[in-house]
Amino acid sequence: MTVPLQTESLISPWDDYNQTLISQVHPLDWVNPAPAERYDLVVIGAGTAGLVVAAGAAGLGLGLKVALIEKHLMGGDCLNVGCVPSKCMIRSSRMVAELRECDRFGVKLNGAVEVDFPAVMARMRQIRAEISPNDSAQRLQKLGVDVFLGQGHFHSSHTIQVDDAILKFKKAVIATGARASQPTIPGLAEAGFLTNETVFNLTDRPARLAIIGGGPIGCELAQTFQRLGSEVVLFHKNGHLLDREDEDAAEIIQQVFVQEGIQLQLNSQLERVEKTESGKVLHFTRNGQPDHITVDEILIGAGRSPNVEGLNLEQVGVNYDPHKGVMVNDYLQTTNPNIYAAGDICMDWKFTHAADAAARIVVKNTLFSPFGIGRSRLSNLIMPWCTYTSPEIAHVGLYEQEAKAHGIAVDTITIPLDTVDRAIADGETAGFIKILHKRGSDKILGATIVATHAGDLISEITLAITAKIGLSKLSTVIHPYPTQAEAIKKAADAYRRKLLTPKSKRLLGLLARFG
């Protein structure tokens, strides 16, 4: 059976790069295989979670029968409309920012920095196409996975239907992900808007862009488009951007946004949108006062909604919430013991690396934990994350308010980057490393890093928490000089210095006398 695809509804423009992408992630001439008599594992959804489950199970070389079903594009949001395209655009925007600041590094440009927006987007499409073989239908097929392109839904407690085919399974995994939430603002649908699923199809830069949502997605794209030449206005319902993050970290980002010219509309409530000859007019109230602004495009970056529709979950006794997704226990098992879930469809952590980690748990728990013996728990994961603004904000573990809510007494150690030699040399002193540890102990409970490459730096703290390495041991780790990671050692050294009580100093003085 050949699988049709309305490419224009999923990906555009139809250039060489996107044709290459589609040839990998939804080949137009793909013929679904004849179903096996019975599958050890059937996975619905070929985003990160689904790909890792399917490839992980089939790639073990144990002869397991695995099927993977995808109705849209293999690779899911991350490859097609998420991490990969957004980070390509962010890299271009960072280059623009660096060039505009080159004078302070003693470098002169002859002429203004000009952004070729169509070229920026073409580069993004090229890189996305180059990466796409990693998530391709052909690669999974070579690993031994039966790949079915089409709409899958549960037919019975042990069968899934894909078009006319019936797939029998021992265990199944729901990995259908999530999509951008669409706020119910009168006139918004009629005026038209962008989401992460359509914004990367742009070939022309919007001169005036409104972004709704001051969380990670909204902030990343607001800074990116502002640096690439759009006039950006960012709407947020609360009084501060990134209000789920460390307050000091979020304040740095907010001040950077102001300096870069992003117009912030905080404490704002959008009332309605109307389409006029001069553009799309957003009517809103801010601190109770009515106002309006006219833009060319509107981008929705506020929240995610789980893809639970059309799966026939009621038929197989899988409980779900239309806003929170599929309900799972700590083993990622649904209310049907033979059906599991992983990724954005069921988890608060909506990150690619979280979906990857959860998928590995699912492989173990579905296939290699007979009678529930040796199952892995989602709650045991130590999960870092990063918001890719400039500077980045990365976090792992507990925030201070969370520790207090759990009744844990804590102390914090903060190392400003303007005390770190490499950050000074790089001209990247807006930031810090903050480590939270249990009071009276060197046990690390959490950390927040604000730095140009905070997402890279946070891994050392994540490893320390995972391996139960305390600050005392961390202070013995030698860091190359000069690097910004040296700030981590400075934090560990600061903890060691706190141990120098008057009594211990007298002891050290005595030892020195006899040394």
Query: Does residue 87 have a pLDDT over 70?
Result: yes
pLDDT at 2: 41
Residue 2 lies in a domain: no
Centroid of chain to Cα 51: 17
DSSP assignment of 87-150: HHHHHHHHHHHHHHTGGGGT---SS-----HHHHHHHHHHHHHHHGGGG-HHHHHHTTEEEEES
Query: Does residue 10 have a pLDDT over 70?
Result: no
363's tokens: 């492989």
Give me the CATH number covering residue 255.
3.50.50.60
pLDDT at 8: 52
| Residue whose entry in the numeric block shows the structure tokens 């060197």 | 442
Residue pair 178/307 in contact by the 8 Å Cβ criterion? yes
Same-domain check for residues 229 and 117: no
Same-domain check for residues 217 and 131: no
The DSSP call for residue 33 is P
Query: Does residue 502 have a pLDDT over 80?
Result: no
Which regions of 309-372 does DSSP assign to beta strands (E)?
Answer: 320-321, 325-326, 339-341
Residue 54 lies in a domain: yes
pLDDT in tens, 484-496: 999 999 999 999 9
More confident residue, 288 or 390: 390
pLDDT in tens, 429-442: 999 999 999 999 99
Backbone angles phi and psi of 209, in degrees to 5: -130, 125
Band (pLDDT 50/70/90 cuts) for residue 449 is: very high
Same-domain check for residues 174 and 288: no
| Residue whose entry in the numeric block shows the structure tokens 């809103």 | 284
Residue 294 host element (H or E): strand 289-295
Last residue of a domain, one of 302, 318, 345: 302
* Dist CA 402 CA 498 (whole Å): 24
Query: Does residue 3 have a pLDDT over 50?
Result: no
Q: What's the farthest any 2 CA atoms get from each other in the chain?
A: 87
pLDDT in tens, 333-381: 999 999 999 999 999 999 999 999 999 999 999 999 999 999 999 999 9
Q: What is the mean pLDDT of residues 388-396?
A: 98
**Residues of the chain above pLDDT 90, percent:** 92
The closest alpha carbon to 87, from 395, 390, 450, belongs to 390
Residue 265 host element (H or E): strand 263-265
pLDDT in tens, 284-304: 999 889 999 999 999 999 889
**C-alpha dist (Å) from residue 167 to 48, 289, 341, 358:** 22, 58, 18, 24
Residue 420 lies in a domain: yes
Same-domain check for residues 401 and 292: no
Same-domain check for residues 416 and 458: yes
Backbone angles phi and psi of 491, in degrees to 5: -65, -45
pLDDT in tens, 183-196: 999 999 999 999 99
DSSP assignment of 426-451: HT--S-EEEEEEETTS--EEEEEEEE
**Start-to-end C-alpha separation, the chain:** 84
Residue pair 75/371 in contact by the 8 Å Cβ criterion? no
Same-domain check for residues 46 and 131: yes
Domain count, the chain: 3
Same-domain check for residues 471 and 327: no
Same-domain check for residues 165 and 46: yes
pLDDT in tens, 192-225: 999 999 999 999 999 999 999 999 999 999 999 9
Band (pLDDT 50/70/90 cuts) for residue 170 is: very high
502's tokens: 């008057």
SS3 187: coil
**Residues of the chain above pLDDT 70, percent:** 97
Same-domain check for residues 216 and 174: no
Q: What is the mean pLDDT of residues 442-459?
A: 98
pLDDT in tens, 114-161: 999 999 999 999 999 999 999 999 999 999 999 999 999 999 999 999
**Domain boundaries, position 418:** 391-502
**C-alpha dist (Å) from residue 269 to 245, 323, 368:** 22, 21, 50
Mean pLDDT of the residues in the chain: 95
Same-domain check for residues 77 and 159: yes
* Dist CA 332 CA 248 (whole Å): 34
Backbone angles phi and psi of 166, in degrees to 5: -115, 125
Same-domain check for residues 298 and 352: no
Q: What is the mean pLDDT of residues 65-81?
A: 97
Query: Does residue 499 have a pLDDT over 90?
Result: no
pLDDT at 6: 58
Query: Does residue 505 have a pLDDT over 70?
Result: no
* Dist CA 510 CA 378 (whole Å): 51
Beta bridge partners of 276: 279
pLDDT at 492: 97
The closest alpha carbon to 380, from 409, 358, 402, 411, belongs to 358
Which residues lie below 8 Å from residue 409, measured CB to CB, with a gap of 6+?
403, 438, 439, 440
Last residue of a domain, one of 253, 281, 302: 302
The closest alpha carbon to 47, from 140, 146, 129, belongs to 140
Residue 360 lies in a domain: yes
Residue 132 lies in a domain: yes
Query: Does residue 111 have a pLDDT over 90?
Result: no
Give me the CATH number covering residue 454.
3.30.390.30
Same-domain check for residues 91 and 223: no
113's tokens: 């920095």
